[in-house]
Chains A and B, each alone.
Chain A
């Protein structure tokens, strides 16, 4: 468990009243905590949380677990949750788990913010 994920990073920023978290690289068991922390940093009064998966080159069930966890957390609040679709490899994970239809996916950030 000592090898860090190759070139992984997370960018969190505010766009209007949305908290946008954009991980870049491979999202797996090693890197998922960074994204979890970035999501947790959202302001109390933000309208929406957007997880932008477009920068990911890979995701495993750890990432999926984080997505579901976030979805269920926010379901109990007034904060909206939106996802920006990742590359086909990444989307395959959600497709395989039959999660694509169950999650608020958008093609791009504008769509995710506008919804």
Chain B
């Protein structure tokens, strides 16, 4: 260890302070004796008494001050006009001179002894403190007790922990502004400045320095601190490395100011010796030895940890923070953070708990632990940086480092930034709720209504959806929240995408600006809403198309057939989007009226398309040829040419009047339930069925005639009637026959009654289309118009029929 010091006169700082009260008293005594001499006249005794003040002063004052008093006494002896003789005067002079010399010699000797005694006291004090101090903090305080005011008006102790200098203690003497302690405790790092603890720690050199304005300016954290430090009017300071077991563990710093004393090189040397003892004591107390090499490495790990880690001392003061903590708390560097009061650190943020209640410094787990709460649990807070408005979710956890008696030494806090987790959690919840809202209805307006109610107020103060109407003009279909903010707040417009198609716009507004994550969440919700709207619309669309298609399959009303009364019962299976395959048709053929009833196996849009194909194939063939067997064969050929094995049962019948007043119904059936002839109360199947259409190539369907008398009814139906599900069984042929035998009246009345019976019988959803066609022969039929027999006019006729069909008002004619 070396030491450096400016060249100064040897004057120990541990000697008495200059111009003590004793000095002034001595000087006053000398002058008083001089006056007394003048007044008392020839009293020798008085002049001789002038020897006493220097001697008395010498017992307490510095030798220089003693000399001053002695010199004054001598001057008084010489100057005061004595009335006595020259001998008396010489005796007095010699006496005072000798007394003065003795006094100064005593003062010099005494001063050295006092300094040695003081130094000895300090060394013993350190040893004593090392023995008695309970823990290193008490030791630091005890050492500071010794240093101030003996070795300085102010003193500090720094210790290297985890590779960093830590100011573990600061002390100011009596008569020093207490604010100076804070200014010293929180001073800036003086890395690279040799005249500092950092300098001494770095190069292991003890220095006697004169703190100047530049040093104060560099050290002060704030202008207020600079003013406080400047107010010390520091004269000298000793900065000494603390050295234990061959390594520098810190530095000791003591400065004079208000007392106007100055350190000597002897003081510096003594400070080095003292520092050695202090260092050993601190090392033994475990302050620095706690940090082994492994622990130092651990310290480095903590420092670079992604989680923010801070350490508070028992006063709640921050003594350590890792890099992540400095960043999280928004400070430029560690020193800035460590030198800021915890309250001021807290002031930078608006902090709330999960319920939105404000959280103060005292509510943090670390502070509660220090306040005596045994085990404060983790605290999740919403932390908003006041300066930027940035919002974070922070999880505070802490644990105490305790000594063997269980007293808290340090509180270590881990602050985890869980913003992403928290936001993701909230996003997931919002997404789930949005999806639920969208799935809650098949109607897209209802869906969007539910959606905006989910989004307000969770995500936005107001939300609205606009969809273009038929003319493409955006219309607001739903809105929630304060509509005013849709105009004034921060507005986010989210297109509702379904694939590449923009279906509409979701508008969200709120007072605070949209963060990227929330905007992304809103976009995702927009995508889901787009798809949901698309699906709802297209589902509605498919249902509408299928229904339209189905309606298109069937004549809106049955045409009037001369000589016949007709009625139809048609009940499509009610399920969504599942249009069944029943069809029927009544139209005029070349030789008579044609009646068709059929059922295509399957349901849904495909079945609807095949049903359409079947109906028009039969109709075209029947209109062109009037041959019912050929019409069915044509249907078979068409179905065989289709993919997916469409099967179709069908009855194609031609109604023709006979000259004797009866009617001949010529029927071809492809696997269809046989038509029933109702005559009075008898019900009988008629006709002869062929193979179902669509199953085999090159089939033939022979036509079979049935004769009807006036008043007879022919009932054609599909298997949906027979298969209708009741409680225990199906409606079946027997029930149908019984119903038809029992029911009376016009075809329309009979069908109304049959419908009522079916509905009374049925349990559960109707699974299949149900069609019943009733043809009552009234007689007096007229031959079909001969002009329609020409094949060449068939197309026109068909068009004409279709037109006529659509103009007919009633569903049955009589």
Taken together as a complex, chains A and B put the C-alpha atoms of A97 and B767 apart, in Å, by 20
Contact A58 B689 (CB under 8 A): no
Q: Sample 27 A-B pairs with CB under 8 A, ordered by A number.
A: A1-B576, A3-B764, A3-B765, A29-B603, A60-B723, A61-B599, A61-B601, A61-B647, A64-B601, A65-B601, A65-B645, A65-B647, A68-B645, A69-B645, A96-B649, A96-B673, A96-B689, A97-B670, A97-B689, A97-B691, A98-B671, A99-B671, A99-B691, A99-B692, A99-B695, A102-B695, A102-B696
Within B196-230, the residues touching A (CB, 8 Å) are none
Smallest CB gap from B685: residue in A? A96
Taken together as a complex, chains A and B put the C-alpha atoms of A72 and B764 apart, in Å, by 35
A1 and B575 in contact (CB under 8 A), knowing A62-B601, A64-B647, A97-B671? yes
- Tell me which of B603, B647, B690, B765 contacts A98 (CB under 8 A): B690
A64 and B692 in contact (CB under 8 A), knowing A58-B730, A69-B645, A96-B674? yes
Q: Fill in one digit per residue for B573-586: 1 if any A CB lies within 8 Å of its CB, else 0.
A: 00110100000000
Smallest CB gap from B718: residue in A? A61
- Interface-centre pick from A1, A28, A64, A102 (highest chain B CB count, 10 A): A1
A97 and B602 in contact (CB under 8 A), knowing A3-B765, A28-B767, A29-B767? no
- Tell me which of B602, B674, B691, B696 contacts A62 (CB under 8 A): B602
Q: B283 on the interface (CB 8 Å rule)? A: no
Smallest Cβ distance from B285 to chain A, in angstroms?
A: 79
Taken together as a complex, chains A and B put the C-alpha atoms of A97 and B277 apart, in Å, by 115
Contact B692 A98 (CB under 8 A): yes
**Residues in chain A near residue B575, CB distance under 8 A:** 1
Q: Fill in one digit per residue for A34-60: 1 if any B CB lies within 8 Å of its CB, else 0.
A: 000000000000000000000000101
- Interface-centre pick from B576, B603, B645, B674 (highest chain A CB count, 10 A): B645
**Residues in chain A near residue B764, CB distance under 8 A:** 3
Taken together as a complex, chains A and B put the C-alpha atoms of A98 and B578 apart, in Å, by 28
Contact A29 B691 (CB under 8 A): no
Contact B647 A68 (CB under 8 A): yes
- Interface-centre pick from A61, A64, A72, A96 (highest chain B CB count, 10 A): A61
Taken together as a complex, chains A and B put the C-alpha atoms of A44 and B765 apart, in Å, by 40
Q: Fill in one digit per residue for B630-672: 1 if any A CB lies within 8 Å of its CB, else 0.
A: 0000000000000001010100000000000000000000111
Taken together as a complex, chains A and B put the C-alpha atoms of A29 and B765 apart, in Å, by 14
Q: Fill in one digit per residue for A72-107: 1 if any B CB lies within 8 Å of its CB, else 0.
A: 100000000000000000000000111100100000
Contact B645 A61 (CB under 8 A): no
**How many residues from B make CB contacts under 8 Å with A?**
28
Smallest CB gap from B732: residue in A? A89
Smallest Cβ distance from B517 to chain A, in angstroms?
A: 39
Q: Fill in one digit per residue for B600-623: 1 if any A CB lies within 8 Å of its CB, else 0.
A: 011100000000000000000000
Q: Fill in one digit per residue for B713-741: 1 if any A CB lies within 8 Å of its CB, else 0.
A: 00000010001000000100000000000
Q: B768 on the interface (CB 8 Å rule)? A: yes
**Residues in chain A near residue B692, CB distance under 8 A:** 61, 64, 68, 97-99
Smallest CB gap from A93: residue in B? B719
A68 and B695 in contact (CB under 8 A), knowing A29-B603, A60-B768, A61-B649? yes
Contact A98 B691 (CB under 8 A): yes
Residues of A near any B CB (own CB < 8 A)? 1, 3, 28-29, 58, 60-62, 64-65, 68-69, 72, 96-99, 102
Smallest CB gap from B577: residue in A? A1
Taken together as a complex, chains A and B put the C-alpha atoms of A28 and B690 apart, in Å, by 22
Contact A60 B719 (CB under 8 A): yes
Taken together as a complex, chains A and B put the C-alpha atoms of A64 and B645 apart, in Å, by 11
Taken together as a complex, chains A and B put the C-alpha atoms of A72 and B723 apart, in Å, by 27
**Residues in chain B near residue A61, CB distance under 8 A:** 599, 601, 647, 649, 692, 719
Q: Fill in one digit per residue for B113-124: 1 if any A CB lies within 8 Å of its CB, else 0.
A: 000000000000
Taken together as a complex, chains A and B put the C-alpha atoms of A1 and B578 apart, in Å, by 8
Taken together as a complex, chains A and B put the C-alpha atoms of A64 and B599 apart, in Å, by 13
Smallest Cβ distance from B714 to chain A, in angstroms?
A: 18
Taken together as a complex, chains A and B put the C-alpha atoms of A61 and B601 apart, in Å, by 6
Closest 3 pairs between A and B when the two form their complex, measured CB to CB: A97-B671, A61-B601, A97-B692
Q: Fill in one digit per residue for B63-92: 1 if any A CB lies within 8 Å of its CB, else 0.
A: 000000000000000000000000000000
Taken together as a complex, chains A and B put the C-alpha atoms of A96 and B696 apart, in Å, by 16
Taken together as a complex, chains A and B put the C-alpha atoms of A3 and B670 apart, in Å, by 30
Smallest CB gap from A73: residue in B? B645
Smallest Cβ distance from B667 to chain A, in angstroms?
A: 14
**Residues in chain B near residue A60, CB distance under 8 A:** 601, 719, 723, 768
**Residues in chain B near residue A65, CB distance under 8 A:** 601-602, 645, 647
Contact A96 B672 (CB under 8 A): yes
Smallest CB gap from A71: residue in B? B695
Smallest Cβ distance from A72 to chain B, in angstroms?
A: 7
Contact A97 B649 (CB under 8 A): yes
Contact A72 B645 (CB under 8 A): yes
Smallest CB gap from A67: residue in B? B695
Taken together as a complex, chains A and B put the C-alpha atoms of A77 and B723 apart, in Å, by 35
Apart from the given pairs A1-B576, A29-B602, A69-B645, 9 other A-B contacts in the complex at a CB distance below 8 Å: A3-B764, A58-B730, A61-B647, A64-B601, A68-B647, A96-B689, A97-B671, A98-B670, A102-B691
Smallest CB gap from A28: residue in B? B767
Smallest Cβ distance from B164 to chain A, in angstroms?
A: 70
Taken together as a complex, chains A and B put the C-alpha atoms of A98 and B632 apart, in Å, by 14
Within B781-802, the residues touching A (CB, 8 Å) are none
**Residues in chain A near residue B599, CB distance under 8 A:** 61
Taken together as a complex, chains A and B put the C-alpha atoms of A28 and B719 apart, in Å, by 12
Smallest CB gap from A95: residue in B? B689
Smallest CB gap from B701: residue in A? A98
Smallest Cβ distance from A60 to chain B, in angstroms?
A: 6
Smallest Cβ distance from A93 to chain B, in angstroms?
A: 8
Smallest Cβ distance from B614 to chain A, in angstroms?
A: 13
**Residues in chain B near residue A28, CB distance under 8 A:** 767
Smallest CB gap from A30: residue in B? B767
**Residues in chain A near residue B603, CB distance under 8 A:** 1, 29
Smallest Cβ distance from B546 to chain A, in angstroms?
A: 13
Taken together as a complex, chains A and B put the C-alpha atoms of A102 and B696 apart, in Å, by 10
Smallest Cβ distance from B686 to chain A, in angstroms?
A: 14
Taken together as a complex, chains A and B put the C-alpha atoms of A61 and B691 apart, in Å, by 13
Taken together as a complex, chains A and B put the C-alpha atoms of A24 and B670 apart, in Å, by 28
Taken together as a complex, chains A and B put the C-alpha atoms of A70 and B645 apart, in Å, by 11
**Residues in chain B near residue A1, CB distance under 8 A:** 575-576, 578, 603
Q: Fill in one digit per residue for B675-704: 1 if any A CB lies within 8 Å of its CB, else 0.
A: 000000000000001111001100000000
- Tell me which of A29, A62, A96 contacts B671 (CB under 8 A): A96
**Residues in chain A near residue B670, CB distance under 8 A:** 97-98
Taken together as a complex, chains A and B put the C-alpha atoms of A4 and B645 apart, in Å, by 24
Taken together as a complex, chains A and B put the C-alpha atoms of A54 and B695 apart, in Å, by 23
Contact B601 A98 (CB under 8 A): no
- Interface-centre pick from A29, A64, A97 (highest chain B CB count, 10 A): A97
**Residues in chain B near residue A97, CB distance under 8 A:** 649, 670-671, 689, 691-692, 695
**Residues in chain A near residue B601, CB distance under 8 A:** 60-62, 64-65
Smallest CB gap from B723: residue in A? A60
Taken together as a complex, chains A and B put the C-alpha atoms of A62 and B719 apart, in Å, by 12
**Residues in chain B near residue A69, CB distance under 8 A:** 645
Taken together as a complex, chains A and B put the C-alpha atoms of A99 and B578 apart, in Å, by 27
Taken together as a complex, chains A and B put the C-alpha atoms of A65 and B489 apart, in Å, by 63
Smallest Cβ distance from B756 to chain A, in angstroms?
A: 23
Q: Fill in one digit per residue for B740-767: 1 if any A CB lies within 8 Å of its CB, else 0.
A: 0000000000000000000000001101
Smallest Cβ distance from A18 to chain B, in angstroms?
A: 24
Taken together as a complex, chains A and B put the C-alpha atoms of A62 and B607 apart, in Å, by 12
Taken together as a complex, chains A and B put the C-alpha atoms of A58 and B768 apart, in Å, by 14
Smallest CB gap from A29: residue in B? B603
